[in-house]
Amino acid sequence: MRINTPSNTPVVVVPAHAERHFEGSEAVRDIVLGMADGLTVPFALAAGISGAIDPALASSFGRGTALIVTAGLAEIAAGSIAMGLGGYLAARAEREHYEAERRREEAEIIEKPAHERREIVEIMETYGVSAEDTAPLIAALERNPARWRDFMMRFELGLEEPDPRRARRSAATIASAYVVGGLVPLLPYLFIDVVPRALSVSIVVTLIALFGFGWLKGRYTGTRPITSALQTFVIGGLAAAAAFVIARLVS
């Protein structure tokens, strides 16, 4: 049977799955990763310490808020480094893994081609394609070992080649997003010098930021914006409430 693609069928220039590529955009994913934690954890920590410190210290002009700003900035430094370097190592490990697997596939194609051929047959059989119908495909791959190897990487292992520059870019993006997100809940403590009032402003400002961030995140990742906005809002609120209660219980 011939494939039914008449030559007068126009080539679709805008692919139907365009948003899929954007959705997978690594920069967006890294910003979301860093900012989600950056907006949440320093916010919750600041709320937690606000709930725990001495009432006298809390209403003493500047002293209570200075402590919270100090702890908050320490958290932002620690969190952004931990997440940024973590992202760097994850991206590097992914690349090393890909290269190791590619070397292995290369060796297997040379050393045990019969086994590799059988793997293709088995994969295609799970989709109801018989060994006979797979034979021309295998014969074509055998004429070009490099492409055979790439075929096995994608279709046997489901691995795509990672971008070599990804690790460094990923680390910088995650860390910066964490810092930007983390400064939002701390700013009120810098400008308002009594803790309870700074805490109220921080809660309002950060919950708005969480809502807006969730909304944008939803738009770029394909979740409904309102759902996504409510999710980040609830996570940030829960984390801050838990931190507040636990800090108050132990102090």
How many residues lie near its own copies (CB under 8 A)? 99
Rounded-to-10 torsion of CA 207, 208, 210, 213: 180
Distance CA(153)–CA(106), nearest Å, equals 10
Task: Collect all residues with Cβ–Cβ distance below 8 Å to 37 and sequence separation of at least 6.
Answer: 79, 83, 178, 181
**Contact with its own copies (CB under 8 A) among 157, 187, 201, 205:** 157
Name the token pair of 172.
């910088």
**Contact with its own copies (CB under 8 A) among 96, 99, 161, 163:** 96
* Contacts with its own copies, 73-92, as mask; x by CB under 8 A: xxx-xxx-xxx-xx--x---
Nearer to its own copies, 93 or 204 (CB): 93
Query: Among residue numbers 101 through 120, which ones bind its own copies (CB under 8 A)?
Result: 101, 104, 108, 113-115, 117-118
Query: Among residue numbers 21 through 50, which ones bind its own copies (CB under 8 A)?
Result: 23, 36-37, 40-41, 43-45, 47-49
Q: How far is the CB of 177 from its own copies (least distance, A)?
A: 13
Q: Hey, what amino acid is at 50?
A: S
**Closest by Cα among 116, 124, 105, 103 to 142:** 116
Nearer to its own copies, 7 or 165 (CB): 7
